Amino acid sequence: MEQPINLSPSAAGRVAAIAAKQGRDAALRLAVEGGGCSGFQYRFDLVSEIEGDDVVVERDGVKLVVDPVSLDLVRGSTVDFVESLGGAAFKVENPNAAAGCGCGSSFSI
């Protein structure tokens, strides 16, 4: 069965490393908020608590947690971790986004 959202091996590895350094659970919450230069923006946080209606997918022992409202905007996406000359960051490859901005952290539908 296909998952509603995916976590790449690179992102799972990065979350596990950050969580281990901070002594926290390896659970990354992805939320979508209004704002940003394109209308919506992604927010990432390490979390210890998972709400009853959250969607949780797991890769290599790392959980990706998304609330139902945000999931409607990111369904079918892949959360990745990319490193380049410009820096390193989590990136959402969102097939629902009609447009994005240069920074890669905001999008429109």
Does the pTM surpass 0.75? The reply is yes
| CA neighbor of 3 nearest in space, from 49, 71, 60 | 71
pLDDT tens across 1-52, in order?
Answer: 578 999 999 999 999 999 999 988 889 999 998 765 557 888 999 998 899 9
CA-CA distance, 46 to 109, in Å (whole number)? 26
Q: How would residue 105 be classed by pLDDT, with cut points 50, 70 and 90?
A: low
The number of residues in the chain equals 109
Which residue type is seen at 11?
A: A
User: pLDDT higher for 99 or 2?
Assistant: 2
Task: Report all structural domains of the chain as residue ranges with CATH numbers, in order of start.
Answer: 6-99 (2.60.300.12)
Token digits of residue 47: 């979390």
pLDDT tens across 65-96, in order?
Answer: 999 999 998 999 999 999 887 788 888 898 87
Instruction: Report, as an integer, the average pLDDT of 57-63.
Output: 95
The predicted pLDDT at position 16 comes to 95
| CA neighbor of 86 nearest in space, from 107, 100, 104, 101 | 104
Token digits of residue 54: 């959250």
By the 8 A CB rule, do 90 and 23 touch?
A: no
